[in-house]
Amino acid sequence: MNATKLILSAAVLAIITVLLTLSSKNVYSPPSIPGSKDLLSKSEVIHLKGAVGPESVAFDPNGEGPYTGVADGRILKWNGDSDGWVDFAVTSSQRKECVHPFAPQMEHVCGRPLGLRFDTRTGDLYIADAYLGLHVVGPSGGLATPLVTEVEGQPLRFTNDLDIDEQEDVIYFTDTSTQFQRRQFIASVVSGDKTGRR
């Protein structure tokens, strides 16, 4: 009988908690942060046709864009409603067979740009390509130049993201795994792989 009273008490307490929570204001909205602006409600969805898997989003120093990397190895730029998405850059010169919007078996050839960051001083776009390493391309786009493809004699296998410290003139980037490539991410997760580096 004591177990029944305990279960009943727990159920009543849970119901009271739910009712109090639902009756309070702003249950479904985040708390306000002094000095912040909520601009998300004013955003609009920009549909991506002819490409899949947009990853990172970046705006250039002039506020143009967004730019995003997609699964077929291209970096696209939003050029406004009239022009839509346009090709901006690639990390691989071997693009002859890169014709399918989603072809994981070709990522090591076509490239797979993940992290994107602009250097606000130069306008250069730095690209973390999962297979091809860290690249940079100038403000007018085109074929990116490789900067780092290996660290301490080990090739980069899953370059993922980056950040730029412009005050210290340093680029930080991550290599998610030294054993698995991006298309093997499930095996990496299941195995508990902890070989990533930054």
CB 166 within 8 A of CB 120: yes
Would you identify the CATH topology of the domain 44-191?
A: Neuraminidase (2.120.10)
User: Could you give the percent of the chain with pLDDT greater than 90?
Assistant: 41
Sheet holding 133-137, edge to edge: 113-118, 125-129, 133-137, 145-148
For 58-108, the pLDDT digits (tens) are 999 999 999 999 999 999 999 998 999 999 999 999 888 888 888 888 888
Q: Which range is least confidently modeled, 40-44, 75-79, 121-125? A: 40-44
Does 189 have pLDDT greater than 70?
Answer: yes
What radius of gyration, in Å, describes the C-alpha atoms of the chain?
A: 23
Which pLDDT value is given to residue 16? 83
At 6, the pLDDT band (50, 70, 90 cuts) reads confident
Q: Enumerate the H helices of 68-181 as residue ranges.
A: 80-83, 107-110
Beta partners for residue 90, in sequence order: 74, 143
Q: Is 62 helix (H, G, I), strand (E, B) or coil?
A: coil
The domains of the chain are located at 44-191
Q: Are strands 85-90 and 142-143 parallel, antiparallel or unpaired?
A: parallel
Strand residues in the chain grouped as ranges (E):
57-58, 67-69, 74-78, 85-90, 113-118, 125-129, 133-137, 142-143, 145-148, 150-151, 154-155, 159-165, 170-175
Does 25 have pLDDT greater than 70?
Answer: no
